[in-house]
Structures are given as structure tokens and as C-alpha cells.
Amino acid sequence: MELRNVRIVTPERVIENGTLTLEAGRIQAITETAGTPSGRTVLPGFIDLHIHGGGGADTMNATPEALATICKTHAAHGTTRLLATTITQSDAAITAALANAAASPEPLLAGIHLEGPYISPNKPGAQPKEFVRPYDEAEFAGWLAAAQGKLRQITLAPEQPGGDALIAACNAAGIVVSLGHTDITAEQTRRALALGARQATHLFNAMSGIHHRNPGPIPVFLTDPRARVEVIADGHHVAPEVIAMTYAAVGPKRFIAITDAMEGAGKGDGVYGLGGHEVTVVNGKATLADGTLAGSLLLMDQAARNLRAWCALGWQEIAQVTATNAADQQGWLDTGRLVEGCVADLVVVDDGLTVQATYVAGECVYSAA
């Protein structure tokens, strides 16, 4: 199969008019092409490490149909790999969600992100506070078994009881430790990074803000090269000016765009659920009854459009923050980039970053035509 007369965004350069040849699910060749450009651009497929739901379905529904709906919704917006993300809940509810995701045949579903319940009761955000609890070794071992090797990332608060032991257990299992829903200080943040934490969960949200005499975790995340940062680029969770500041501080290789999408993503305004809470969506903003932000309605193509506008990103930088960095963070070195021999996970967009087609391992999973 060939995609001809397209702009191809590779890590080394942007080919303004080229041909992408796909064979057996991989990129066989990338060449320059004569002729009239089609006006289409091929980017590495978007990778979202933090998705709770979409299309009216939630990871915690723990059904194959819910995961199929979530994947279909996000594929239509250019996502080719995602981590189905859980929420703080009972042992039984989390176990069911993990087992369901582990058994899923959905090609987009590349793993699971366990968000909570081992977080700070002081920074629950929209996580149900009644289920927040300290690390339990036996409980976590049961979740590892239920996930069958698919647990790829965890959000935890390292200052909580058992935090050091939990980080060690995750390191041993090859799970990316992301710090979030946490009340850590700057010193505790540096210590957690030294122990093996590698990421900030939705930077700025559900963590202490910056004070010039009590800096908290954010300045450490912005300046420490050991950490990448997740950012929800919807303009509700973090102001565009602060997103631009963050990108300027961390640069193109440490910034990971995520959606934190909940079940209303792709559906519009209405009333939805998240972890047992009722969430109201008005004008694209999802909140609990008390006004707390509760996930987002963001999809990755809109995140790319927002970041291009707010941070003045070129094509290669867009590819970096929507795909390459997430792939590198997960150790997926054969995707997240358009390189010969890599898996053919692709998104085809127009100049306005509207998705025309999405390919997973060379198979078209969405077409606007």
C-alpha cells in the first residue's frame, strides 16, 4: 500500500511531497515524489497515555463493548495507541476493569494506566475520596495478576504510606511511575525521581501550586531532565499561557500531550459518570457539582491544534509531543515516529489538523471519506 503525494513528518525532516510505502503492518519505504501535493500530511499516530473514556463509555464499565466504543471514538481523532485509565475505586471494581482491559483485542489498547487509589486524600481532584487508601502490597499484587502484564503506568502520591515500596514494586514490574494527585514538596519530588519516578500526571492539576518560598513539585518537574510531564491541553485545566510557559521550560522532548478524556468525549454537553460521580458537561467543560474539574472532553487532534496555536509548534514538534515522547516513555521504540521499519501507526490530516484517516499497523481503522 502507498500513500502518495503527501507531506511526511519524519524525525529528521519534513518531506513536503513524498510517498509512504506500507507492507506487512510496517513502514517499508519513505521517498520523495514528483507531482502535485495532495494537501494531506502524514504524522505518527497520536499516543494518549491517559484516557478514561469516550463516546459514552468508561474504562470502569469493565465491558468489552465499552472499550470498543472508547477506541472507536479516539481512532476517529487520530489516536493509534492508548492506555485505558482506571480511577480510584474499590478493589473489586479496579480488578474487573484491569481484567477486562487485559483481555481486550482492541488494536488501539496498548496497556493500562492505574490512576489511584494510592494517592493523597488532600489532592483527590475528581477521584472518589472515600476510596483513597495507602499502598497495600497484596492488593497491588492481585492487580498485577489481573492486568496480565498490561499495566504500563501508575499515578501515585509518593509521600503517602508505603510510597517507597510501591515505587520499587513498579520499577521491578517495568511500570512507569507518574506522580500525581499528590501533596509533595520540591524535596520529596526530587527524592521520588531518584527512586525511579519518571513523570508528572497532568502537570499543575491535583498538586500544589508554585510559591516563591515554598516551590512545591512543579518547578522540579519543569527543570529536572529525569521527568517528562503530562499536560491536558484543553485550555480549561491549564491556561494557554501556562501551557506555553511549560513548553518553553521543558522543551519538545519532555512534554507529553494527553487528553484525560472521560466518557463524554466525542459526545458533547450532557450528564455523564466518572468513578461513581455525576459529571456535568457544559461548553466542553466537565465538572462535578462543586465545580471540580472531572476529566476532559479533549481529543488528541484538538490537543494538537491547541498546542500548535499556543506554543507555535511546527510539524515535527507536533509529532514529538503527541506521539514520539509518549512512545519513548513507554519504551515503544518501533512506533511514535515515521521511520522505515517502524510499525505503520499513522494519522493523515489536512493543513488544519482535521483527521482524514487513521491507520494502526497499516490497517485503516478510521476514514473521513
Q: What is the pLDDT of residues 180-232, one digit of tens each?
A: 999 999 999 999 999 999 999 999 999 999 999 999 999 999 999 999 999 99
pLDDT value, residue 324? 98
Please check if 263 is assigned to a binding site.
Answer: no
pLDDT value, residue 274? 86
Q: What is the pLDDT of residues 44-99, one digit of tens each?
A: 999 999 999 999 999 999 999 999 999 999 999 999 999 999 999 999 999 999 99
Residue 70 lies in a domain: yes
Measured in degrees and rounded to the nearest 5, phi and psi for residue 167 equal -60, -45
Please check if 50 is assigned to a binding site.
Answer: no
Residue 318 lies in a domain: yes
Residue 1 lies in a domain: no
Q: Provide the CATH number for the domain around residue 187.
A: 3.20.20.140
- Is the Cβ–Cβ distance between 249 and 240 less than 8 Å? no
Within its chain, how far is the Cα of 252 from the centroid? 16
Residue 202 lies in a domain: yes
pLDDT value, residue 273? 87
Please check if 213 is assigned to a binding site.
Answer: yes
Please choose, from the candidates 239, 233, 200, 201, the residue with its C-alpha nearest in 3D space to the C-alpha of residue 318: 233
What are the residue ranges in the chain where pLDDT is below 70?
Answer: none
Looking at the annotation, which residues are catalytic? 260
Report the amino acid identity of residue 185. T
Domain count, the chain: 1
Residue 80 lies in a domain: yes
pLDDT value, residue 268? 83
The grid cell for 327 is 512512545
Measured in degrees and rounded to the nearest 5, phi and psi for residue 112 equal -130, 140
Residue 283 lies in a domain: yes
pLDDT value, residue 323? 98
pLDDT value, residue 193? 98
pTM of the model: 0.97
Residue 40 lies in a domain: no
Share of the chain above pLDDT 70, in %: 100
pLDDT value, residue 59? 97
pLDDT value, residue 307? 98
pLDDT value, residue 277? 82
pLDDT value, residue 369? 87
Which residues constitute the domain of residue 317?
45-333
Residue 4 lies in a domain: no
State how far the alpha carbon of 287 is from the alpha carbons of 86, 202, 272, 277, in Å: 18, 16, 10, 10
Please check if 32 is assigned to a binding site.
Answer: no
pLDDT value, residue 284? 87
Please choose, from the candidates 156, 55, 144, the residue with its C-alpha nearest in 3D space to the C-alpha of residue 108: 55
